[in-house]
Amino acid sequence: LKWHYLLTEEQLLCCICLDVFRDPVTLPCGHNFCKDCITEHLNFNSQRKCPMCKEQVDRKYKLEKLLERKMCAEHGKPLDFYCKNEQMIICQSCVDADHRFHRVVPLKEEYEAKKTQLGITEAKILHMIQERQRKVHELKQSLKLSTEAADRETANGVRVFSALIKSLERAQAELIEMTEENQKRTEKQTKVYITELEQEAFELTRRRDEMEELSRSKDRLRFLQSFPSLNAAPPTKDWTDVSICPLTETIKNEVKMIRDAQFNNIRQNAVDVTLDPDTAHPALILSNDGKQVHCGDEWKELPDSSKRFEPAISVLGTRGFSCGRLYYDVQVKGKTGWTLGVAKGSVNRKGEIKLNPENGYWAIYLRDRNEYFALAADPVPLSVNDHPEKVRVFVDYEEGLVSFYDVNAAVLLHSYTGQTFTEKLYPFFSPGSSDSGPHLMLHCPPAAAPGGGPDGESGSGRPRAFPNRVFVC
């Protein structure tokens, strides 16, 4: 090594045996000795001090071999110090020369400090690893639950659609059978009519031939004797009202039955909806149970809130939904204006609001008693034959679908399809101004009445009596 050439003869001598080093080792202070010499000295010296500088030597210190210990390439002395300014390991001579005014600490001290720092960093990394492992476990659990939920949903969907398919196939078979039976009856009756008509036509033709023969007769006596029987009206049926009715009405009834079955299939997705007073415009008056709302004549004095609609006379439902299917019914009977639908929780509620999907609203509305619109980017007029008394709002979150139905007529009013929902959707209501008619009310669908059977009947079979208020499943 380079430092060997820089050592003097005295530096190669052990100060204990005064001979050239044999198996040289180094103490923490940097002084060198023969391994056997210093080992014997330390073992018999209770204070365990360096023979040269008297520095204490810890019992745990492991003697380092002088070729193993790193030496300064420039000065040939042990690299026992660390310069914090230049972040490098140096010897005592380096300290005395180029690093005199730098922040220099013993190598051991820096080693312990860095080791402690490394331990802290290691602990942080271990914590990060554990956090990620917990997150992986959490995601795996979520995926498992999601998979199980998807399997259940698929099984339920398959069961529902299988039942619906069977119902449709049964209805189709019944329709075909009934149509064929009706057609057979029609054919049989028609053949009877044709036979009777042909018989009457034959008798009338024979009568006409007799009348022609009599009219050509010159025998006055025979003419007058035969005239009364030939001139009398022949015995025939009045065929004026006899006709064959087509089966269109029967088919219409069957199609209506199928349509009703499809409409009623969504009843299992009814949700509990109540109105959120914190979002209600100051002019709106909510019932104590949060199931009905109307516009009053005066504004209430309420604290300003970013959640509250103003000046739009609107209110949201309390509960938001971010998955699955749901629907709720709203009674609108007798009202001349209203707006219904769903809205994102982050929608703007202050100032002028344009209700459309681009701004987070999916709704339809009635104005001036007769004008129905879907509130798209450009309002779309809706063809409504009869005024709905109850409107159903249906949402399929994953499919991006919002549909509106006339409940009593089981007719689709409008659908927003192909939408993308990324946050919670809240039921949205606007009951119109104070002169727009009765209260806007949320209703409980009959099939979902608590403890009841279909069509709102109780378990005993007696009709369930509802007070003249709003209900929500």
Per this entry, what is the length of the chain? 473
Residue 457 confidence (pLDDT)? 32
**pLDDT value for 249:** 58
Examine the pLDDT at 451 and tell me if it is beyond 70: no
Coil vs helix vs strand at 24? strand
Distinct helix (H) and strand (E) counts, the chain: 5, 19
Alpha-carbon gap, residue 416 to 375, rounded angstroms: 10
d(CA 248, CA 159): 32
Q: Band of the pLDDT at 68, cuts 50, 70, 90?
A: low
Task: Give me 144's structure tokens.
Answer: 């498992």
Does the domain spanning 2-110 belong to CATH 3.30.40.10? yes
Q: Kindly report which listed range (10-24, 88-102, 251-265, 266-280) carries the lowest average pLDDT score.
A: 251-265
Reported as a single tens digit per residue, the pLDDT across 265-308 is 556 678 889 999 999 999 999 999 999 998 888 888 888 888 99
**What's the start-to-end Cα distance of the chain, in Å?**
90
Name 171's Cβ contacts closer than 8 Å, sequence gap at least 6: 254, 257, 258, 261
According to DSSP, the β-strands at 284-286 and 401-406 are unpaired
Q: How far is CA 8 from CA 11, 13, 321, 413, in A?
A: 5, 9, 87, 106
Residue 246: is its pLDDT beyond 80? no
Q: What is the pLDDT of residue 450?
A: 33
Topology, domain 268-456: Jelly Rolls (2.60.120)
- Is the predicted pLDDT of residue 460 greater than 60, yes or no? no
Going through 6-146 in order, the beta strands assigned E by DSSP cover 24-26, 32-34, 64-65, 81-83, 88-90, 104-106
Q: Above 70 in pLDDT, residue 233?
A: no
Residue 394, helix vs strand vs coil: strand
Coil/strand/helix, residue 283:
coil
- Contacting residues for 413 by C-beta, under 8 A, at least 6 apart: 364, 372, 382, 384, 388, 391, 404, 405, 406
Average pLDDT over residues 348-375: 91
DSSP track, 380-406: EE---SS--SEEEEEEETTTTEEEEEE
- Residue 254 is predicted with a pLDDT of 58
- 136-163 pLDDT, tens digit each: 998 999 889 888 888 887 887 787 778 7
Burial per residue of 128-164, b for 16 or more beta-carbon CB atoms within 10 angstroms, e otherwise: eeeeeeeeeeeeeeeeeeeeeeeeeeeeeeeeeeeee
User: What one-character-per-residue DSSP string does 211-275 give?
Assistant: HHHHHH---HHHHHHHHHHHHSPP-----TT-----SHHHHHHHHHHHHHHHHHGGGGGB----B
- CA distances (Å), origin 293, targets 77, 252, 284, 304: 92, 39, 7, 20
Per-residue confidence (pLDDT) for residue 345, from 0 to 100: 93
pLDDT score of 259 more than 70: no
Cis, bond preceding 311 (omega within 30 deg of 0): yes
Give the SS3 label for residue 70: coil
Do strands 81-83 and 104-106 pair parallel, antiparallel, or not at all (unpaired)?
Answer: antiparallel
- The number of angstroms, rounded, from the C-alpha of 269 to the middle of its chain's C-alpha atoms is 14
Same fold across 2-110 and 268-456: no
The amino acid that residue 128 corresponds to is M
Band (455; pLDDT cuts 50, 70, 90):
very low
Instruction: Please identify which residue in the block is written with the tokens 């420039």.
Output: 74
Question: Three-state SS for 421?
Answer: coil
Query: In Å, how far are 182, 184, 260 from 248, measured between CA atoms?
Result: 12, 16, 18
Closest CA to 327 of 433, 407, 248, 208: 407
Residue 257 binned pLDDT confidence (cut-offs 50, 70, 90) = low
Beta strands 325-331 and 411-416 are unpaired
H or E element, residue 469: none
Q: Give the mean model confidence (pLDDT) for residues 406-416.
A: 88
Least trusted range by pLDDT, from 117-126, 204-213, 263-272: 263-272
- What CA–CA distance (Å, rounded) separates 2 from 117? 34
User: What is the token pair recorded at 299?
Assistant: 């504004």
Tokens coding 321: 């939904």
Indicate whether 22 pLDDT > 80. Answer: yes
| % of the chain beyond a pLDDT of 90 | 31
Q: Answer for the pair 431, 295: CB distance below 8 angstroms, yes or no.
A: yes
Single-letter residue type at 378: D
Q: Could you tell me which residues are beta bridge partners of residue 364?
A: 340, 374
Mapped onto helix, strand or coil, the DSSP state of residue 404 is strand
| Average pLDDT estimate for 349-365 | 93
- Say which residue the tokens 């006596």 belong to: 221
- Burial class of residue 440 (count of CB atoms within 10 Å of its CB; 0-12, 13-18, 19+): buried
160-164, 171-175, 367-371: which is most confident:
367-371
Q: How sure is the predictor about 472, in pLDDT bands with cuts at 50, 70 and 90?
A: very low
Ramachandran angles phi, psi of 66, nearest 5°: -60, -25
Task: Determine the pLDDT at residue 204.
Answer: 83
- Give me the residue spans of the domains in the chain: 2-110, 111-245, 268-456
pLDDT exceeds 50 at position 473: no
Give the pLDDT band (50/70/90) at residue 421.
very high
Looking at residue 470, its pLDDT comes to 31
